[in-house]
């Protein structure tokens, strides 16, 4: 198998090897589809980009990209660190190289002691603490909703912000929602999440969205669907400059969610650069923690599997509550 088969963006998937030649040709495409489905599409997109960068670096310095030597991998990771890449990004680059070799049935160069030591040194030098985006707490959300215009776009954005917050949704979950995933209930709305970051096999789970008294997310969603005449297909979709929603309009992108959050945090007089699409999810968890909600109930809404992630939000939210030094500082 050639280097181009695995790492070239113009050859197949850029990461997946060609199916074995001893199987019927009509099955080759099916084999590739199942291989592609073994990883989330977002992960594969990132891996493809990482693979191309590694291939270009190898070509520049005279190394083979596949199979790659541990020295080449260590050199590439060091190069990325010197370019100022985050430790998490460098770790993903390493994972992409590992994945390509695994699919090609070749020895994993990233398992070499030289590569492991290089990666460990990079993490110790750069640090692995993630950059925390600001949480759009309920107070921030209320300020954002006040800045939405009374237009079709404004109705959509109000519904997206309100539902995104109330369901502690990931942006990928939010844009994937169809009208068929919404089911009215006496107490609010039941929202079916068909697939998520922690449910790549598509077992699905349900989130309960109360009517509410302040944000009233269910009403915001109903208003948007009624105004847009949306009865099936994607819940959130683009609005034309003329204020119309096309019947066959595609769903919003995940980047559009981030742009909407930044637009209204900026309009509310906040530093938009410190907010992202994840701010809605973080804001719900933070607000719930500030108000003493039970950890298990927060996880029911957020869909987290690892309580340690949620505990991190709770600790930040309650950093000054019952502080050990509050009685003498």
> Could you give the residue numbers annotated as active site?
170, 197, 278, 281, 304, 313
Widest pairwise Cα distance in the chain: 77
Angle at 128 (CA atoms; ends 123, 133), nearest 5 degrees: 155
Q: Is 178 helix (H, G, I), strand (E, B) or coil?
A: strand
- Residue appearing with tokens 């290089």: 118
Q: For the chain, how many residues are written? A: 329
Sheet strands side by side (includes 205-210): 182-185, 188-193, 205-210
Rounded CA separation 187/158 (Å): 20
User: Can you list the alpha helix ranges (DSSP code H) found in 1-109?
Assistant: 3-7, 25-37, 41-61, 70-82, 87-103
Could you tell me which residues are beta bridge partners of residue 182?
Answer: 191
With contact defined as beta carbons under 8 Å apart, do 138 and 287 qualify?
A: yes
User: Can you list the alpha helix ranges (DSSP code H) found in 151-277?
Assistant: 152-166, 171-175, 217-228, 254-267
Rg, Å, the chain Cα set: 23
Q: Half-sphere exposure of residue 125, counting CA atoms within 13 Å on the CB side? A: 13
Rounded CA separation 163/230 (Å): 16
Query: Can you state the angle between helices 113-126 and 87-103, rounded to 10 degrees?
Result: 160
- Residue appearing with tokens 């922690």: 198
With contact defined as beta carbons under 8 Å apart, do 174 and 324 qualify?
A: no
- Give one word for 24, left, alpha or beta, with left for phi > 0 and alpha for psi -120 to 50: beta
Angle at 51 (CA atoms; ends 48, 54), nearest 5 degrees: 155
């Amino acid at each position: 198998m050639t280097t181009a088969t695995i790492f070239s963006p113009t050859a197949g998937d850029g990461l997946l090897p060609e199916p074995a030649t001893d199987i019927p040709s009509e099955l080759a495409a099916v084999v590739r589809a199942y291989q592609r489905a073994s990883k989330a599409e977002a992960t594969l997109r990132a891996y493809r980009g990482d693979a191309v960068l590694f291939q270009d670096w190898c070509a520049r310095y005279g190394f083979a990209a596949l199979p790659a030597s541990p020295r080449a991998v260590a050199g590439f990771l060091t190069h990325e660190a010197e370019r100022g890449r985050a430790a998490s990004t460098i770790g993903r680059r390493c994972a992409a190289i590992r994945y390509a070799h695994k699919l090609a049935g070749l020895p994993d160069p990233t398992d070499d002691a030289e590569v492991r030591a290089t990666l460990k040194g990079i993490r110790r030098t750069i640090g692995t603490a993630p950059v925390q985006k600001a949480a759009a707490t309920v107070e921030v959300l209320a300020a954002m909703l006040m800045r939405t215009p009374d237009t079709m776009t404004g109705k959509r954005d109000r519904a997206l912000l309100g539902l995104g917050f109330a369901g502690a949704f990931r942006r990928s979950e939010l844009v994937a929602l169809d009208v068929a995933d919404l089911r009215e209930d006496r107490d609010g709305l039941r929202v079916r999440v068909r697939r998520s970051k922690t449910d790549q096999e598509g077992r699905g789970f349900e989130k309960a969205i109360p009517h509410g008294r302040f944000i009233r997310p269910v009403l915001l969603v109903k208003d948007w669907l009624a105004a847009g005449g949306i009865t099936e297909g994607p819940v959130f979709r683009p609005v034309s400059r003329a204020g119309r929603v096309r019947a066959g309009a595609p769903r919003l992108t995940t980047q559009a969610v981030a742009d909407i959050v930044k637009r209204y945090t900026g309009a509310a007089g906040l530093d938009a650069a410190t907010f992202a699409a994840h701010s809605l999810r973080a804001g719900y968890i933070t607000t719930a923690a500030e108000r003493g909600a039970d950890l298990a109930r927060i996880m029911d809404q957020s869909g987290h599997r690892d309580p340690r992630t949620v505990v991190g939000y709770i600790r930040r939210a309650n950093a000054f509550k019952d502080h050990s030094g509050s009685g003498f500082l």
